[in-house]
Structure 1
Amino acid sequence: MLSLDLGDDLTLTGLEPWQAAEFAAFVAAEQDHLSPWLPWGSALAEEEPARAFLQRYADGTAQDGPRIYALRLGGRVGGRMVGGTLFRTFEAGAGSCELGVWLAADAQGHGYVTRAVAAMLDWALLERGLHRAEWHCVPENTASRNVAKRLGLTLDGTTRESWHHAERWWDTEIWSILAPEWRAARAGG
């Protein structure tokens, strides 16, 4: 399996359909933590729905589209899954993508997501040549907002009551960074 060492025993690895049982167990264990922010935070706590979800991303990867990764502590093979990242959308022809993340409650505060997203931005904007990367979050999710701020993304705006989840309508903030901005930030200025 391909993996990327992010330092401090943290690895970003592919997350594939054959890992559905592990992913479902992670979602089940973190359900209370994930469900307020992610529509799938409880729906994927069983193996078959998790497998179908991962298969959609495997199909997307095969078509140079959306893809999904696990964040692991303790090595790439058999390391403990502490979260994950994804390109919710990845449109090379249009030059844009949208990133998303999730993290176990006990893994917060260590910079894991920031490191993983920086690596994903490097790949999408610097290696693949996409022009724009987006980050969507609800204003109440301060941890997610803070990742966008730490990475130098710009708040483009807020779409009001743009999606329904957990018996309410949620606003969505849209943050973005352009390839020249990311390149300059990585070059130190």
Structure 2
Amino acid sequence: MFALSLGDDGAELCPLPPWQAEEFLAHMDRGRAFIGRFNGLPDVVTDPASSRAFLEAYARKEAADAGLIRAIRLDGTLVGAVILRRLDVAQGTAEAGCWLEPDAVGRGLVTRAARRLIDWAVRERGVHRVEWWVSSGNAPSIAVARRLGMRKEAVLRDSHLHRGERHDEEIWAVLAPEWTAGPAADAA
């Protein structure tokens, strides 16, 4: 219900409300090691209570117009998500993010889902700048940023501590005029 098709392969973008916390936890368990290579979420979502708390936090963000989460489903199964970690409509800025289970990699799901999310943020919410923060070692996520028409604007050296190791973070971004004129938006 309320799904947005991402193509003819059974992929959909859907809400991910708190009542789906058990399914979200099962999804995280399936992808925990893979997702956790660059993303701290598997260290946060570890049991039913923390799974529900995470989804409730995003429900509150969405209610406050400050962020949102959308499930990526493949043939009805939750396989990943895209998020607006931050959404500041007054400032016209947002930060997008994503993750995906290993069995769903290589199908273009994140790129298609992120296109829909960014297109919504720019066209419907009037966001002028969408950022994509990524570990310099996360080549697949950097490839998504490139496919979305984003430009690398900065490298923050040793700025992110993840599981006891410091990582460089890259900031990629796309501006609304680039988005609406570019090929990534046309595909959305």
Q: TM-score, normalized by length of structure 2?
A: 0.94
Name the residue aligned to 1:120.
Answer: 117
Compute the RMSD of aligned alpha carbons.
Answer: 1.2
SS in 1 for 2:50: helix
Aligned counterparts of 1:80 and 1:127: Cα–Cα separation in 2: 28
Name the residue aligned to 1:137.
Answer: 134
Identity score, percent: 40
SS in 1 for 2:83: strand
Name the residue aligned to 2:86.
Answer: 89
Output the amino acid matched with 1:5. Answer: S
Aligned counterparts of 1:172 and 1:2: Cα–Cα separation in 2: 35
Aligned-residue offset at 1:170: 1.3
Name the residue aligned to 2:77.
Answer: 80
The one-character-per-residue Cα deviations of 1:77-109 (angstroms, maximum 9, x if unpaired) are xx1011111000011111000000000101111
In structure 2, the gaps of 5 or more residues are none
Aligned counterparts of 1:29 and 1:104: Cα–Cα separation in 2: 7
Q: Does residue 156 of structure 1 match 2:176? A: no
Output the amino acid matched with 1:85. Answer: V
Aligned counterparts of 2:111 and 2:30: Cα–Cα separation in 1: 23
Name the residue aligned to 2:57.
Answer: 56
How many residues in Structure 1 have an aligned counterpart in Structure 2? 184
Asked whether the 8 Å contact 1:83–1:103 carries over to 2, the reply is yes
Q: TM-score, normalized by length of structure 1?
A: 0.94
Aligned-residue offset at 1:187: 5.5
- Bigger mean CA deviation after superposition, 36-45 or 55-64: 36-45
Name the residue aligned to 1:67.
Answer: 68
SS in 1 for 2:6: strand
Aligned-residue offset at 1:29: 1.5
Name the residue aligned to 1:3.
Answer: 3
Aligned-residue offset at 1:51: 0.6
